[in-house]
Amino acid sequence: MSKKLYLGIDMGGTSIKIAVVDAKGLITEETSIKTDLNQSPAKLANDIARQAALLKNYPKIKSIGIGIAGDIDCEKGVVRFSPNLPKWRNVKLKQIIEKLTKKNVFVDNDANTAAIGAFWLDAGGKSDNLICITLGTGVGGGLIFGKKLYRGKTCTAGEIGHITIDSQGHKCNCGNRGCAETYIGANYVARYSVDYLKTHKSKIIDDMTGKDYSKITPKVLYDAALKGDKTSVEIWKYVGEKLGVLLADIVNFINPDTIILCGGVSLAGKFLIDPAQKEMKERSFQTAYKACKLQVSHYTSKLGVVGAAMLAEQ
């Protein structure tokens, strides 16, 4: 029986996940190493290759896929810049790993690998047009049309976080104003909360943070909401409505059958989804809205590594 197996590598800022994945996107074996930010790219690549080779099915692997945040030349497999590995500039990652492993290597950014992962894990490989939105510190997106990742002319398609939802809004790191990321990215959610708490007291959040609001994260806001904190629920309602504006834009523009949300902010679940869905419904074409399934990924922590492995099928 010849069963196709792929190796996926998800290079995060704290750990590097490595997994063997089968042709249906299921993990059969996995391991990880710590991301040592001080190591040279060559040394880190060596460590990754050595760790991967320890996996039982490693000899049967057809190809290797790597997902990494940042500005990636997906054709040449070059990491131009990555916020996870600040010392990496123009690293020819594909070339380095191919030399070490003698296998075909594919490199892409983590929003694209998350979308491929969501396609396989959340949609079971069965969606015709799926959009994945990564709600982390940054807000990214990946587009899967007809089982294939849509990359655009210069590999930057899917920059959903930088769609303008308020022309007069906050200044964004990208240079634009009012990008969706400046409302629904984790840091902005925290910043908004600190402002909101100035006029809306919350004993639950005060107790959870010891009144040190620099400790506010989406997780704190979610836990507070679970405890019945009205202020947190109101904050999530605000964030959800902003997300809903973006979702309506996507629904009208793409008419997808599935939108998957993943990443830290998405863990807020119904506190985020309910107001988002309401806003999305009010603003989008109704046939398109009804045809689109919106859900939070059940596999947030696995999407990157599975999607990376499945890059070979792209």
By CB under 5 A, name the binding residues for Zn ion.
162, 172, 174, 176, 179
| C-beta closer to Zn ion: residue 263 or 307 | 263
Q: State the Cα–Cα distance between residues 13 and 251, nearest whole angstrom.
A: 32
Cβ 180 to Zn ion, closest distance in Å?
8
Cβ 176 to Zn ion, closest distance in Å?
4
Cβ 177 to Zn ion, closest distance in Å?
8
Cβ 188 to Zn ion, closest distance in Å?
11
| C-beta closer to Zn ion: residue 69 or 116 | 69
Q: State the Cα–Cα distance between residues 289 and 179, nearest whole angstrom.
A: 23
By residue count, the chain amounts to: 314
Cβ 179 to Zn ion, closest distance in Å?
3
| C-beta closer to Zn ion: residue 179 or 296 | 179
| C-beta closer to Zn ion: residue 162 or 237 | 162
| C-beta closer to Zn ion: residue 174 or 194 | 174
